[in-house]
Amino acid sequence: MHTLIEDRLCLFALHSSRAFGERVAQHLGVTLGAHEERNFEDGEHKSRPLDPVRGKDVFVIHSLYGDPNESANDKLCRLLFFIGALKDAGAARVTAVVPYLAYARKDRQTKERDPVTTRYVACLFEAVGTDAVVTLDVHNLAAYQNAFRCRTVHLEAASLFARFLAPQLAGVEASVVSPDAGGIKRAEAFRQAMSDALGRPVGMACVEKYRSAGIVSGNMLIGDVRGRTAILIDDLISTGTTLARAAAACRDGGAAAVMALATHGLFSENAGTVLGAPVVGDPDLGDPVLQQLVVSDSVEPGRAGADALKPRLAVVSSAALFGDAILQLHDGI
């Protein structure tokens, strides 16, 4: 069966996403396609498939987050140029598999003459002939779907997180908490998944949030978390200020414990310090506001900003989720 799949399907992963690509390939029972990536002295680069792709259904895995070696812009250009090379080489269909989609947060104008960068990125994908884009827990689903004219597929990590947490929450009263009003739909989807996994109702709450000139404020909690484990959920962690503020509000609201889930662990330089802060007024200053933090592997684990969180940080694999999506797309589902 695997040979028959490989006869029709090609799976590539660009170098900085190779570890993730290998996990997806292992789930599918296929091998990653061979390709070349070259860097030139002036900073330019080229990439090309080494395996034949003419007439094939091609999937390219590349997560578009910045790291010390390549910026998000570098990775975006590499992916676009590789997709263009695949189309020129006769690929029947090319799907970009992008666990973390860069610029998805800039999806609307919030100030006069602001760019709508999400839409510009969509135009770039379409310009090189991309047939479909697959991503995980994008910042704004409606904006993502409306920005692209090619096919879009949106995967959600809620079921992955629910399966991971269900054993440790057995017999524990819990409430799912959105750290801002914009994340209520995401939190509700996870609340339903968590309720199904536990076989009993799970509560719901929300924390207010205001952002101006990069400053986050607001700490009013709507909903009941008293005596419960509060489960914060967000699409990503960058500086950590949103989750830290929401976690403090939950503790002030009487939560017995607070944990946080985020699909994309970007972890900027000071995120570990922000999220590792102790409970204010706790006699044991070693007791942090967040007891546990869970992320997916859409961003490669081991980022420097998360070093201080290692004892409390867990990573859930999304490789099988992407592998199943690739197989279903290939089969026309």
Catalytic residues: 209
SS3 per residue for 167-182: HHHCCCCEEEEECCHH
| Backbone angles phi and psi of 159, in degrees to 5 | -65, -35
271, 240 contact by CB (below 8 A) = yes
Reading the block at residue 119, the tokens are 């839409």
Q: How many whole angstroms separate alpha carbon 158 and alpha carbon 155?
A: 9
Distance CA 13, CA 97 (A): 9
Q: What is the Cα–Cα distance from 134 to 140, expressed in whole angstroms? A: 14
Instruction: Using the CB atoms, write b or e for 53-64: b if 16+ within 10 Å.
Output: beebbbbbbbbb
Question: Side by side, which strands form the sheet with 174-178?
Answer: 221-222, 203-207, 174-178, 229-237, 257-265, 292-296, 313-316
**Alpha-carbon distance 296 to 64, whole Å?**
15
Token readout for 237 is 């962690």
